[in-house]
Structure 1
Amino acid sequence: MGQGRKHTRARRHGRTEKSRVIRNICFHGIGTCVREREEGEARYWVRESHFLRILDEIAGRDDVRVSFDDGNVSDVALALPAMQERGIRGTFFALAGRLQDSSSLSPSDLRLLRSAGMQIGSHGWEHIPWRGMSNDDARRELVDARAVLSEASGERVVEAAMPLGRYDRLLVQRLKGAGYSTVYSSDRFPARAGSWFQARYSVTADDSRESIRALLTRKPGLQDGCRVMKSAIKRVR
């Protein structure tokens, strides 16, 4: 086979991989939420038994990506060993302003996650909405937080997850200007594997293995199309 044909096939394979439909599944806390830092936070904590069954459903699937927001210590205490046991890798979006908090991921926790083959991303500094930030707040949340997390974890942080799911055109411009390779939202629709913008499904206390299975196996429908349109509008408003 000629080199030109090989290169053409390789390019086609690359395009196919980048356009492959995936679903991003996001966890926040595993176990019991002892103290809510924001109203309604407990709703996003998943019982350990449910978490393990959900991981069993996800294990072995190449069309699912797993991530964790908020940097809770349950990420290393409960999630990491369960994921290692099942051969699942994920991205952990930590908060730079909570690295010294005993209930949150510490620098040594971030390095442990890295050494286990996990990725570290930025969830900002204080877990505040990124939409409508002042320039000073934007520097702290998008630039300074990433620098602190990069130093703490021992490797450069290149991905970000937007707290509370709020964004607009200015925030998208700021994130692109800051050089993030991938940005995650909580818009709940399927994503393309190679897209810069990645929508996610947040797992809640009401979810089970069965509800996640239904989510992963159903075909995209009208509701997904509406969410894609709403997301596109938010990115240009």
Structure 2
Amino acid sequence: MPADPARTTTPAPDPTAPPASLPRLRPVRPWVLMYHSVAEHTEDPYNVTVSPGRLDRQLRWLRRRGLRGVGVGELLRERAAGRGAGLVGLTFDDGYADFIGEAVPLLRRHGCTATVFVLPGRLGGDNEWDPLGPRKPLLTEAGIRAAVGAGMEVGSHGLLHLDLTAADDETLRRETGGSRELLEEITGRRAEGFCYPYGTVDHRAVRAVRAAGYAYACAIDPGPLTGPHALPRVHIGEEDTSPRLYAKRLLHPLRRRALPSGPTAPAAGSLTGAGR
């Protein structure tokens, strides 16, 4: 005998269940590599220098695994559009002059781009914030424009490489908003990315970077602050051979928090092409 429709009951919907029309979101943990200087070296007390030969082998390692290095702005845009598979963010902190002579030719050889974070308040100076040295020259205005011309993204590392968590309000404003204004005068393009000197970041620094109009910012391991304005990165050094790169790639999802779902990506076309 068929069931009486009047007696058929439908279970009440679970108010805590997500709407059926919404896809399940996977945790977002983009892999962003942090470089600094690229040069032949015998003295490197802060582990910020990678030889050209080592960088060449590291980029080759990425390509053999179907990965391609790009600037962070492009990485975020492509991920937001669902096209980020196989992309790895490449960043070069401090704006060393060797970025143009050593890093750019290798990046272009391997079909990669990168973001170089520069110090517009120290144009043509050196890394005097590293007391143990060795002294390394920084990019000039011409060098920054050359990076733009080579298709690289140029972001701000602040004006003078100061710890933003120890800065007063006016210094914080100059280091974030002031450096962005100066960088845009040099490049003629919007500066969308920021990088926290020394990798030190707190809520106040994040608010200042966001207020200055940056679309994203890079840190190192920001923990609970992880988000579009505090992106985690992994340090890459001279000793990072293939096995070490493999291990860092494998451990990245375990060691870094996922970004909040749906991070805001920089607008298409708005970009220029160790935490020390």
TM-score by length of 1: 0.76
How far residue 219 of structure 1 moved from its aligned partner, in angstroms, is 6.5
Any conservation in 1 of the 2:155–2:192 contact (CA below 8 Å)? yes
Moved more, 74-83 or 207-216: 207-216
> How has the CA–CA distance of structure 1 residues 80 and 135 changed in structure 2, closer, same or farther, with 3 Å as cutoff?
same
Partner of 1:215: 248
Query: What is the rounded CA distance, in whole Å, between the counterparts of 1:224 and 1:156 in structure 2?
Result: 29
Equivalent residue runs for 1:32-181 within 5 Å? 32=40, 40-41=45-46, 43-59=47-63, 60-61=66-67, 62-101=86-125, 103-181=137-215
The CA deviation string for residues 157-191 of structure 1, in whole angstroms up to 9 with x for no partner, is 111000101111111111111111001001188xx
Deviation, structure 1 residue 155: 1.0
Q: Measure, in 1, the Cα distance between the counterparts of 2:122 and 2:166.
A: 22
Gapped runs of 5+ residues in structure 1?
Answer: 1-10, 229-237
CA contact under 8 A between 1:31 and 1:74: conserved in structure 2?
yes
1 or 2, which has the higher helix percentage?
1
- In structure 2, the CA distance between the partners of 1:188 and 1:32, relative to structure 1 (3 Å rule), is farther
- Indicate if the aligned counterparts of 2:31 and 2:252 stay in contact, CA closer than 8 A: no
Report which of the two has the higher share of strand.
Answer: 1
Relative distance call for 1:188 and 1:217 in structure 2 (3 A) is: farther
2-side partners of 1:56 and 1:89: how far apart?
Answer: 14
Give the Cα separation in 1 of the matches to 2:139 and 2:41.
15
**Equivalent residue of 1:160, what SS?**
strand
The code of the aligned residue for 1:47 comes to: S
Q: CA deviation at 1:211?
A: 1.1
Tell me if structure 1 keeps the 8 A contact 2:156–2:194: yes
Bigger Rg, which one = 2
1:92-129 Cα distance to aligned partner (Å, 9 max, x none): 10011221337211112212211222100000111111
The alpha-carbon deviation at position 32 of structure 1 amounts to 4.0
Structure 2 CA distance for aligned equivalents of residues 165 and 65 of structure 1: 17
- Residues 175/92 of structure 1: CA separation in 2 closer, same or farther (3 Å cut): same
Q: Closer, same or farther in 2 for the Cα pair 1:20/1:91, shift >3 Å?
A: same
Conservation of the 8 A alpha-carbon contact between 1:188 and 1:200: no
TM-aligned CA deviation for residue 86 of structure 1: 0.6
Q: Is the contact made by 1:182 and 1:197 (CA closer than 8 Å) also made in structure 2?
A: yes
| SS of residue matched to 2:253 | coil
In 2, Cα distance between equivalents of 1:153 and 1:100: 16
Conserved 8 A contact 2:95-2:138: yes
Q: Tell whether the 8 Å contact from 1:57 to 1:213 is kept in structure 2 after alignment.
A: no
Q: Percent identity?
A: 24
1:202 aligns with 2:226: no
TM-score where L is the length of structure 2: 0.66
Residues of 2 paired with 1:141 and 1:177: CA distance? 12
Q: Structure 1 171/100 Cα, relative in aligned 2: closer, same or farther at 3 Å?
A: same
Partners of 1:153 and 1:35 in 2: CA distance? 33
Aligned residues: 206
